Amino acid sequence: MPFILTYNKKVRQALEAPANLSIDVLVILGLAGLLVAIASLLGHATAPRPQGVEIHLQFRYLPLYAFFSVSRAVIAYILSLIFTLLYGTITAHSRLAEKFMIPLLDILQSLPVLTFLPGLVILFVRLFPTSWLGLELACVIMIFTAQAWNMTFSYHTSVRAIPDALREAAAIQHLTVWQQFRFLELPASMIGLVWNSMMSMAGGWFVITVEEAFTLNNVDYRLPGLGSYMNQAQLDWNWPAMIAGVLAMITVIVVLDQLIWRPIVVWSERFKLEDVSSAEVSHSWFLQFLRRSRFLKWAGSLMRRRSDKAEIAAHVQIEPMTEQSLKKKQIQRGIVSWIVVIALIALAGWGAFTLARLLAQLPIHDTPDTNGWLAVLWALVLSFLRVFAAVTIGALWTLPAGVLIGLSPKWSNRLQPIVQIVAAFPAPMIYIMVIILLGKMHIAFTYGCVALMLLGTQWYILFNVIAGAMAIPSDLREAARIYHLSVWKRWTEVYIPAVFPYLVTGLITAAGGAWNATIVAELVSIPGRQDHIAFGLGYLIDIAVANGQFPLETACAVTMGLTVVIVNRIFWKRIYRLAESRYSLNV
Amino acid sequence: MTATENGSPISEALDVSMVYTDAETGNRLLVLDKVSIAVKTGEVLAILGPSGSGKSTLLRILIGLLQPTSGSVLVHGKPLVGIHPGVSLVFQNFALFPWLTVDDNIKLALNGLNLDAEQAKERVMRCVDVVGLEGFEKAYPKELSGGMKQRVGIARALARAPELLCMDEPCSALDVFTAESLRSEIYRMWSGGQSKLPFQPKSVVIITHHIEEAVFLADRIVVMGTRPGRIRTIIQNDVAHPREYQSPPFQRMVQRLHDVITKEQLPDVPEPTTPPAPETGMPTPAPIPAVNLGHIFGLMEILRDHGSEMDVFKLDMLTDYDFGHTIAVVKAGELLDFLDTPKNQVILTDTGRKFLDGDINVRKKMFHDQLLTLPTFRFVLRLLEEAHGHRLSKEIVEEELCVRLTTEDVEKVFTTIVGWGRFGEIFGYDAASEELYLDDAKTPEESGATAT
* CATH classification for the domain delimited by A9-50+65-318+362-582, as one of 3.40.50.2300, 1.10.150.120, 3.30.300.20, 1.10.3720.10: 1.10.3720.10
For residues B431 and B422, the answer to whether their CB atoms sit within 8 Å is: no
Give the confidence band of B444 by pLDDT, cuts at 50, 70, 90.
Answer: very low
The per-residue pLDDT for A383 is 93
Tell me the nearest-neighbour CA distance from A78 into chain B, angstroms.
Answer: 24
Coil, strand or helix: which one is A220?
strand
Q: Torsion angle of alpha carbons A292, A298, A301, A307, nearest 10°?
A: -130
The per-residue pLDDT for A77 is 92
**Residue B238 main-chain phi, psi, to 5 deg:** -105, 25
The per-residue pLDDT for A311 is 58
The per-residue pLDDT for A380 is 93
Q: Cis link prior to B50 (omega < 30° from 0)?
A: no
- Distance, CA of B268 to CA of B257 (rounded, Å): 17
Phi/psi region, residue B390 (left: phi>0; alpha: psi -120 to 50; beta: rest), is left
A313/B60 touch (CB, cutoff 8 Å), yes or no: no
Mean pLDDT value across residues A143-158:
87
The per-residue pLDDT for A564 is 86
Segment A452-461, tens digit of pLDDT = 899 888 888 8
Give the confidence band of A25 by pLDDT, cuts at 50, 70, 90.
Answer: confident
Tell me the nearest-neighbour CA distance from B125 into chain A, angstroms.
Answer: 15
- ∠ Cα A39 A41 A47 (to 5°): 110
The per-residue pLDDT for B148 is 92
DSSP label of A272: -
Q: Are strands B230-236 and B28-39 parallel, antiparallel or unpaired?
A: unpaired
Which residues in chain B are contacts of A313 at CB distance < 8 A? 111-112
Beta-carbon contacts of B69 under 8 Å, excluding residues fewer than 6 positions away, are B17, B18, B19
C-alpha distances out from residue A384 to A318, A378, A514, B188, Å: 60, 10, 10, 74
B142/A277 touch (CB, cutoff 8 Å), yes or no: yes
Is A6's pLDDT higher than 60?
no
Report which residue type is found at A236.
D
- Distance, CA of B173 to CA of B146 (rounded, Å): 8
The per-residue pLDDT for A20 is 61
B108/A273 touch (CB, cutoff 8 Å), yes or no: no
The per-residue pLDDT for A45 is 67
- Distance, CA of B364 to CA of B425 (rounded, Å): 8
Segment A284-333, tens digit of pLDDT = 667 777 776 776 777 777 766 665 655 566 666 666 667 777 788 788 88
B 84-143 → A contacts, CB under 8 A: 85, 87-89, 91-95, 97-100, 104, 107-117, 119-120, 140-143
Burial category of A322 from C-beta neighbours within 10 Å (exposed 0-12, middle 13-18, buried 19 and up): exposed
The per-residue pLDDT for A308 is 60
B114/A309 touch (CB, cutoff 8 Å), yes or no: no
The per-residue pLDDT for A312 is 62
Segment A104-140, tens digit of pLDDT = 887 777 777 777 777 777 778 788 777 777 788 888 8
Segment A194-215, tens digit of pLDDT = 878 888 888 888 888 888 877 7
- CA quadruple A461, A462, A468, A474: dihedral positive or negative? positive
Q: Return the top range by mean pLDDT from A142-151, A386-395, A413-422, B394-403.
A: A386-395
The per-residue pLDDT for B345 is 86
Burial category of A422 from C-beta neighbours within 10 Å (exposed 0-12, middle 13-18, buried 19 and up): middle
- Distance, CA of A141 to CA of A123 (rounded, Å): 12
- Top-confidence residue, B402 or A466: A466
Coil, strand or helix: which one is A51?
coil
Is A41's pLDDT higher than 90?
no
- Distance, CA of A519 to CA of A383 (rounded, Å): 10
Q: Which helix (H) or strand (E) holds A532?
A: strand A532-533
Own/partner contacts of A282-291, CB < 8 Å, gap of 24 or more, are A282/A2, A284/A258, A285/A7, A285/A12, A285/A15, A285/A258, A286/A258, A286/A259, A286/A262, A287/A262, A287/A263, A289/A15, A289/A23, A290/A27, A290/A263
Tell me the nearest-neighbour CA distance from B119 into chain A, angstroms.
Answer: 9
Is A587's pLDDT higher than 60?
no
Tell me the nearest-neighbour CA distance from B350 into chain A, angstroms.
Answer: 38
- Distance, CA of B148 to CA of B141 (rounded, Å): 9
Which residues in chain A are contacts of B115 at CB distance < 8 A? 314-315
The per-residue pLDDT for A319 is 65
Percent of chain A whose predicted confidence (pLDDT) is above 70: 86
The per-residue pLDDT for B39 is 92
The per-residue pLDDT for A1 is 30
Is A2's pLDDT higher than 50?
no
Which residues in chain B are contacts of A163 at CB distance < 8 A? 93, 95
The per-residue pLDDT for A393 is 93
Tell me the nearest-neighbour CA distance from B89 into chain A, angstroms.
Answer: 8
The per-residue pLDDT for A382 is 93
C-alpha distances out from residue A185 to A6, A177, A276, A461, Å: 35, 10, 21, 32
Is A555's pLDDT higher than 60?
yes
* Nearest Cα residue in chain B from A276: B142
- Top-confidence residue, B280 or A96: A96
Is B215's pLDDT higher than 90?
yes
Q: How would you write B91-156 as a 3-class SS string?
A: CCCCCCCCCCCHHHHHHHCCCCECCCHHHHHHHHHHHHHHCCCCCCCCCCHHHCCHHHHHHHHHHH
Segment B376-398, tens digit of pLDDT = 889 888 888 888 888 888 888 88
- Distance, CA of A542 to CA of A556 (rounded, Å): 10
Mean of per-residue pLDDT scores for chain B = 83
Span of A93-107, B81-95, B193-207, B403-417 with lowest mean pLDDT: B193-207
- Distance, CA of B40 to CA of B49 (rounded, Å): 20
**Residue A163 main-chain phi, psi, to 5 deg:** -60, 145
C-alpha distances out from residue A427 to A206, A434, B370, Å: 7, 10, 69
Burial category of A387 from C-beta neighbours within 10 Å (exposed 0-12, middle 13-18, buried 19 and up): buried
* Nearest Cα residue in chain B from A324: B81
State the pTM of this model: 0.75
Q: Which residue among B81, B116, B143 sits closest to A321, beta carbon to beta carbon?
A: B81
- Distance, CA of A317 to CA of B116 (rounded, Å): 11
For residues B122 and B137, the answer to whether their CB atoms sit within 8 Å is: no
Q: Which residue among B89, B108, B117 sits closest to A183, beta carbon to beta carbon?
A: B108
Mean pLDDT value across residues B39-49:
90
The residue ranges of DSSP E strands in A337-461, in sequence order, are: none
- Distance, CA of B170 to CA of B148 (rounded, Å): 12
Own/partner contacts of A230-236, CB < 8 Å, gap of 24 or more, are A230/A429, A230/A430, A231/A55, A231/A429, A231/A432, A232/A55, A232/A57, A233/A57, A234/A430, A234/A431, A234/A432, A234/A433, A235/A432, A235/A526, A235/A527, A236/A57
Is A19's pLDDT higher than 60?
no
- Distance, CA of A563 to CA of A386 (rounded, Å): 14
| Mutate: best of B74, B104, B108, partner A, most A CBs <10 A | B108
Q: How would you write chain B as a 3-class SS string?
A: CCCCCCCCCCEEEEEEEEEEECCCCCCEEEEEEEEEEEECCCCEEEEECCCCCCHHHHHHHHHCCCCCCEEEEEECCEECCCCCCCEEEECCCCCCCCCCCHHHHHHHCCCCECCCHHHHHHHHHHHHHHCCCCCCCCCCHHHCCHHHHHHHHHHHHHHCCCCEEEEECCCCCCCHHHHHHHHHHHHHHHCCCCCCCCCCCCEEEEEECCHHHHHHHCCEEEEEECCCEEEEEEEECCCCCCCCCCCHHHHHHHHHHHHHHHHHHCCCCCCCCCCCCCCCCCCCCCCCCCCCHHHHHHHHHHHHHCCCEEEHHHHHHHCCCCHHHHHHHHHHHHHCCCEECCCCEEEECHHHHHHHHCCHHHHHHHHHHHHHCCHHHHHHHHHHHHCHHHEEEHHHHHHHHHHHCCCCCHHHHHHHHHHHHHHCCCCEEECCCCEEECCCCCCHHHHCCCCC
Residue from A243, A204, A208 nearest A225 by CA: A208
* Residues of A contacting chain B (CB within 8 angstroms): 163, 165-166, 168-169, 171-175, 179, 183-184, 187, 270-277, 309, 312-318, 320-323, 326
The per-residue pLDDT for A398 is 93
Burial category of B51 from C-beta neighbours within 10 Å (exposed 0-12, middle 13-18, buried 19 and up): middle
Is B46's pLDDT higher than 90?
yes
**Residue A532 main-chain phi, psi, to 5 deg:** -95, 120
Beta-carbon contacts of A427 under 8 Å, excluding residues fewer than 6 positions away, are A206, A452, A455, A456, A517
For residues A538 and A380, the answer to whether their CB atoms sit within 8 Å is: no
The per-residue pLDDT for B154 is 93
Tell me the nearest-neighbour CA distance from B175 into chain A, angstroms.
Answer: 15
* Nearest Cα residue in chain A from B146: A275
Which residues in chain B are contacts of A183 at CB distance < 8 A? 97, 100, 108
- Distance, CA of B84 to CA of B164 (rounded, Å): 9
Tell me the nearest-neighbour CA distance from B100 into chain A, angstroms.
Answer: 8
For residues B215 and B260, the answer to whether their CB atoms sit within 8 Å is: no
* Nearest Cα residue in chain B from A187: B99
The per-residue pLDDT for B71 is 92
C-alpha distances out from residue A512 to A209, A388, A430, Å: 18, 11, 20
CB distance from B83 to chain A under 8 Å? Answer: yes
The per-residue pLDDT for A83 is 93
Q: Which residue among B95, B120, B140 sits closest to A165, beta carbon to beta carbon?
A: B95
CB distance from B431 to chain A under 8 Å? Answer: no
Segment B94-131, tens digit of pLDDT = 999 988 889 989 999 988 888 888 888 888 998 998 88
Segment B285-326, tens digit of pLDDT = 787 888 888 889 888 988 888 888 888 888 888 877 777 788
Is B231's pLDDT higher than 70?
yes
The per-residue pLDDT for B2 is 44
